[in-house]
């Protein structure tokens, strides 16, 4: 009997060790940490009634961006804005740009406005108010440049011009129209006859 007890002793110890190992493994395991799936396009934060002011190197306000709401996405660091309004206030003739929706790039350098884009330049130095309407426009706010690859309608006083595409540089005051440009031009002030 004594010999038989010695032969079962290693088996009992091994069984106890196996049981303790399984028990230790189970109690030391933590809940799996949920990793953020960066392949899914999910919002990581939102804001309502957003106002952003950009200052030029001299400390004057270059532009103000206002939106009804903002949603930021972690996967591509993009931002979506609902009813954005971009106001350039540092010019003799202020410029206002608005739309129903916009997407802002990761670095904030590019804003793509969509859904009923409207631009208005205030009257200045004898020039009447100017407007532009299109369905989509890309804006580089810091450079004050804009481009639309959708049809545009520009007005200035009674003048109305349509085009298939448009590029604009607000700093140098240049607008380039391309593709099927049509319009009716009116002089702002009549030229005296000689």
Tally of domains within the chain: 1
pLDDT in tens, 28-43: 776 554 555 556 667 7
CA 147 to CA 136: how far, in whole Å?
Answer: 9
133 part of a folded domain: yes
13 part of a folded domain: no
Q: What is the largest CA-CA distance in the chain?
A: 137
In the predicted model, what is the mean pLDDT of residues 40-53?
A: 82
82 part of a folded domain: yes
- Location of structure tokens 């004050």: 144
191 part of a folded domain: no
Predicted pLDDT of residue 56: 79
50 part of a folded domain: yes
pLDDT in tens, 98-127: 999 998 888 888 889 999 999 988 888 778
Predicted pLDDT of residue 14: 65
10 part of a folded domain: no
Predicted pLDDT of residue 128: 87
Is pLDDT above 70 for 130?
A: yes
Residue-by-residue DSSP string for 55-124: E-TTSSEEEEEEEEEEEEETTT--EEEES-EEEE-SSSS-EEEE-SEEEE-TTSS-EEEEEEEEEEE--B
88 part of a folded domain: yes
pTM: 0.68
Q: Domain holding 156: CATH number?
A: 2.60.450.10
Q: What is the mean pLDDT of the chain?
A: 80
C-alpha distances out from residue 161 to 9, 65, 128, Å: 99, 28, 15
In the predicted model, what is the mean pLDDT of residues 156-184?
A: 88
16 part of a folded domain: no
**What residues make up the domain containing 90?**
43-184
pLDDT in tens, 69-102: 988 888 777 888 899 998 877 777 788 889 999 9
172: CB partners within 8 A, 6+ apart: none
């Amino acid at each position: 009997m004594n010999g038989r007890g010695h032969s079962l002793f290693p088996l009992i110890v091994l069984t106890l060790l196996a049981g303790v190992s399984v028990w230790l493994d189970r109690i030391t395991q933590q809940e799996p940490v949920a990793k953020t799936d960066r392949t899914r396009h999910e919002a990581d934060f939102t804001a309502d009634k957003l106002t952003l002011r950009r200052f030029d190197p001299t400390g004057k306000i270059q532009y103000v961006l206002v939106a009804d709401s903002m949603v930021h996405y972690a996967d591509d660091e993009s931002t979506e804005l609902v009813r954005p309004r971009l106001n350039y206030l540092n010019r003799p003739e202020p410029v206002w740009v608005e739309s129903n929706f916009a997407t802002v790039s990761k670095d904030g350098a590019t804003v793509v406005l969509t859904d009923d884009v409207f631009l208005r330049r205030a009257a200045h130095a004898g020039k009447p108010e100017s407007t532009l309407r299109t369905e989509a426009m890309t804006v580089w706010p810091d450079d004050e440049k804009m481009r639309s690859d959708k049809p545009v309608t520009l007005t200035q006083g009674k003048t109305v011009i349509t085009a298939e595409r448009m590029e604009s540089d607000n700093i140098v005051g240049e607008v380039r129209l391309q593709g099927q440009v049509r319009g009716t031009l009116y002089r702002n002030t009549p030229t005296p006859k000689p």
